Amino acid sequence: MRPVPVIAIDGPSASGKGTVAARVAAALGWHYLDSGALYRLTALAAIQHGVPLDDESAIAAIAASLDVAFLEGMILLEGDDATELIRAEVIGEGASKVAVLPTVRTALLQRQRDFAREPGLVADGRDMGSVVFPGAQLKIFLTASAEERANRRYKQLIAKGEETTISQILLDIEQRDARDRTRPIAPLQQTADALLLDTTEMSVEKAVQVVLDGWREASLG
CA 99 to chain centre: 11
* pLDDT confidence band for 186 (50 / 70 / 90): confident
Residues 6+ apart with CB under 8 A from 16: 142, 144, 152, 199, 204, 207
Indicate if the pLDDT at residue 84 is higher than 80.
Answer: yes
pLDDT tens figures, 21-66: 999 999 999 999 989 899 999 999 999 999 999 999 999 999 999 9
Structural domain boundaries in the chain:
6-202
Rg (alpha carbons) of the chain, rounded to whole number: 17
Question: In 3D, which of 32, 101, 26, 27 has the Cα closest to residue 64?
Answer: 101
Amino acid at position 50, single letter? G
Indicate if the pLDDT at residue 73 is higher than 80.
Answer: no
Q: What is the DSSP string of 132-162?
A: I-TT-SEEEEEE--HHHHHHHHHHHHHHTT-
Q: Give the residue-averaged pLDDT of 66-87.
A: 87
Indicate if the pLDDT at residue 204 is higher than 90.
Answer: yes
b/e map 120-148, b = 16+ CB within 10 Å:
bbbbbbbbbbbbbbeebbbbbbbbbebeb
Q: How far apart are CA 32 and CA 10, in angstroms?
A: 13
> 78's torsion region: left (phi>0), alpha (psi -120 to 50) or beta?
left
Question: In 3D, which of 9, 36, 13, 6 has the Cα closest to residue 211?
Answer: 9
The vertex-137 CA angle with 205 and 189, nearest 5°, equals 75
- Residue 72: per-residue pLDDT: 67
Contact in structure between 183 and 98 (CB atoms under 8 Å): no
Q: Considering the domain 6-202 in this protein, what is its CATH number?
A: 3.40.50.300
* pLDDT confidence band for 2 (50 / 70 / 90): confident
Q: How far apart are CA 14 and CA 105, in angstroms?
A: 21
* This prediction's pTM: 0.86
pLDDT tens figures, 119-172: 999 999 999 999 999 999 999 999 999 999 999 999 988 998 888 999 999 999
Q: How far apart are CA 181 and CA 179, in angstroms?
A: 6
Q: How many CA atoms lie within 13 A of 29 on its CB side?
A: 2
Q: How far apart are CA 136 and CA 218, in angstroms?
A: 10
Percent of the chain exceeding pLDDT 90 equals 71
